[in-house]
């Protein structure tokens, strides 16, 4: 059973930065596709960024150039560096772990509990 523990959320002003971390245990991290989703109040959960087992990355258009996803295989940890934050980035951010596609949330078997990011204007 894979367990994911997120950290790093909080309150930040517009234009500020935060780094989210997600530590994984119980799975084969080096083979996993990892990602970050977010869900704002009253909205669906959307993919923010993903990183493949080989290191390739993908991003939502709304965060390209501002967010960077990375992984440390030695630490079984994935990161999301968020810069130039905007109020519309406010959401609960969820770490996701799969051996399949990161693009479709319905097929992702393992999720963290989420960490809240609030960007004040």
Whole-number pLDDT of residue 19: 98
For residue 41, CA distances in Å to 47, 58, 73, 97 come to 15, 24, 33, 23
Residue of 26, 20, 45 lying closest to 102 (CA atoms): 45
Whole-number pLDDT of residue 74: 94
- The per-residue pLDDT for range 69-87, each reduced to its tens digit, is 999 999 999 999 999 999 9
Whole-number pLDDT of residue 69: 98
Phi–psi pair at 4, nearest 5 degrees:
-125, 130
Q: How many CB atoms are closer than 10 A to CB 69?
A: 21
Whole-number pLDDT of residue 95: 98
Residue 34 binned pLDDT confidence (cut-offs 50, 70, 90): very high
Q: How far apart are CA 24 and CA 12, in angstroms?
A: 26
């Amino acid at each position: 059973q894979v367990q994911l523990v997120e950290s790093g959320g909080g309150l930040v002003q517009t234009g500020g930065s935060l780094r989210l971390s997600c530590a994984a245990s119980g799975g084969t991290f080096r083979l996993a596709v990892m990602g970050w989703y977010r869900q704002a109040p009253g909205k669906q959960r959307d993919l923010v960024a993903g990183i493949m087992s080989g290191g390739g990355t993908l991003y939502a258009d709304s965060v390209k150039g501002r967010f960077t996803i990375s992984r440390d295989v030695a630490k079984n940890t994935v990161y999301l560096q968020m810069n130039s934050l905007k109020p519309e980035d406010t959401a609960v951010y969820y770490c996701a772990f799969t051996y399949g596609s990161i693009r479709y949330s319905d097929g992702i078997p393992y999720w963290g509990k989420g960490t809240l990011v609030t960007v004040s204007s």
